[in-house]
């Protein structure tokens, strides 16, 4: 099983105002739709980064998930009379991790463009005096 392709269909970002020294950032993602094709699934997704009163970033897209036996990776449900497909097990983990990673990478780029802080804590070097 593998993610063979992805695309971004929508990017939305806004910067409301300058904030204080600390910024509370919340990130969330969702699988919004799954369409079954012969040996693939087209999974629509969204990824949101909320900077509270400072701004917001939203990204939406789709990815293609391939597996030789696709029926083992999904379960079909009926919710309010509508048939839906849900990922399960390893497929859910792989797709969720992909959305999270791709969303964070794209959010970092968008945050830089809008002059917002990076949505995650980036690594930094700390220099301490040499001990004698």
Q: Where are the domains of the chain?
A: 2-14+25-113
pLDDT value for 43: 94
Count CA atoms closer than 13 A to 72's CA, side-chain side.
Answer: 6
Q: Which pLDDT tens digits describe the chain residue by residue (132 residues)?
A: 688 899 999 999 999 877 666 778 899 999 999 998 888 899 999 999 998 888 999 999 999 998 888 878 888 888 788 888 888 888 899 999 999 999 999 999 999 999 888 888 878 888 888 887
pLDDT value for 20: 64
- Cβ atoms of residues 15 and 115 within 8 Å: yes
- What lies within 8 Å, CB to CB, of 130 at 6+ separation is none
pLDDT value for 130: 84
């Amino acid at each position: 099983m593998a993610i063979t392709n992805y695309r971004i269909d929508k990017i939305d970002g806004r910067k409301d105002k300058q904030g204080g020294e600390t910024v509370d950032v919340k990130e969330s993602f969702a699988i919004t739709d799954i369409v079954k094709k012969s040996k693939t699934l087209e999974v629509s997704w969204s990824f949101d980064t909320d900077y509270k009163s400072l701004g917001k970033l939203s990204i939406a897209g789709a990815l293609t998930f391939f597996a030789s036996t696709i029926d083992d990776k999904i379960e079909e449900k009926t919710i309010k009379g509508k048939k839906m497909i849900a990922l399960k097990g390893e497929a859910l983990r792989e797709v969720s991790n992909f959305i999270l990673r791709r969303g964070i990478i794209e959010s970092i780029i968008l945050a830089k463009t809008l002059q917002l802080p990076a949505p995650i804590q980036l690594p930094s070097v700390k220099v301490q005096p040499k001990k004698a």
